[in-house]
Structure 1
Amino acid sequence: MNTEKLINCERNRFNKIIKFRLPHRFMRIGVAIVVLSIVMMFVRAFIMDGETEWLKQLLQKTLLVGMLIMSMSKDKIEDEMTISLRGQSYAVAFIVGVIYALIMPYVEFGVSNAVNSGGKAYKDLGDFQVLLFMLMIQLMFYHNLKRFR
């Protein structure tokens, strides 16, 4: 009997984690964070001089946090269909993100060698680039699937 209670308890915890969503008002907060981060990235790139690498890293992280908040916030009307579409968009984003992470370094290597005579050495993608791409894919697919349902 104790093992059954333990299994049910673990199942309930797992379901709480899977079904976790932020309230709908967080969508606006996420959009505001993303817009503010992008504006500050342009300000940093064109106006600020000097060593601002720490600011670049901070803005990249806040952009990812804003997109994650957007991704995790509920819709105004959350039903079984939107939950299913959200799951499908996460699956597509994961698959496309893995393919992107595997193929893109070779594409960059080939293009840099074709454009420049010396070319560049092979380099892996950074975590920011892969995570940003996956969150963008997830948000695009989710909103497109929702629109065409």
Structure 2
Amino acid sequence: MNKEKLIDCERNRFQKFINFRLSHRFMPIGIAVVLLSITAMFVRAFALDGDTLWLKHILQKTMLVGLLIMSLSKDKEEDEMTISLRAQSYAIAFLIGVIYALVMPYVEFGVSNVVNSEGQAFKDLGDFQVLLFMLMIQLLFYHNLKRYR
């Protein structure tokens, strides 16, 4: 195998990975998974007693999977414009997510020290909070960009 064939093969694999999308039929499935996860989180918070920390983590991961399914689902009419808008929304979500992850711990630290006289220790954001924020921003910007095209 010569060098050009190897490069073409790698380029084709990379393009398949970049262009991966789920069918538009997965969007309602993603919405249902997110809504069921949120409902179960409320039930867990208000109705269940005891140590259900494991359930909280499972529901958080399930909610992230539902948002990811929504994010990867195609539109009914997918064209070059929607692909470009989707790429723009991913870039915007990444930039805003990085800024959020860098700034938010300091904001929480400052607010907690103003509100509580004894203050609180500095803590970083968890992976769930950052990923949830980024996926929600991506979906929000994608649908807004699509609406104003």
User: Structure 2 length normalisation: TM-score?
Assistant: 0.99
Q: Percent identity?
A: 78
The alpha carbon displacement at 1:141 in A equals 0.1
Equivalent residue pairs, number: 149
Question: What runs of 5+ residues in structure 1 fail to find an aligned partner?
Answer: none
Superposed displacement of residue 100, structure 1? 0.1
| TM-score, with length taken from structure 1 | 0.99
Pair 1:103-2:106 in alignment: no
User: What's the CA shift for 1:74?
Assistant: 0.1
Equivalent-residue separation in structure 2 for 1:127 and 1:72 (angstroms): 20
CA distance in 2: counterparts of 1:130 and 1:119, whole angstroms: 24
Separation in structure 1 between the aligned mates of residue 73 and residue 115 of structure 2, nearest angstrom = 43
Aligned residue in 1 for 2:74 = 74
User: Equivalent residue for 2:126?
Assistant: 126
Runs of 4+ residues deviating >4 angstroms: none
2:38 pairs with 1:38: yes
1:11 and 1:143 map into 2 onto residues whose CA distance is 30
What is the letter of the counterpart of residue 126 of structure 2? G
Residue number in structure 1 paired with 2:92: 92
1:51 corresponds in structure 2 to 51
- Which consecutive residues of structure 2, in runs of 5 or more, have no partner in the other structure? none
CA RMSD in angstroms comes to: 0.6
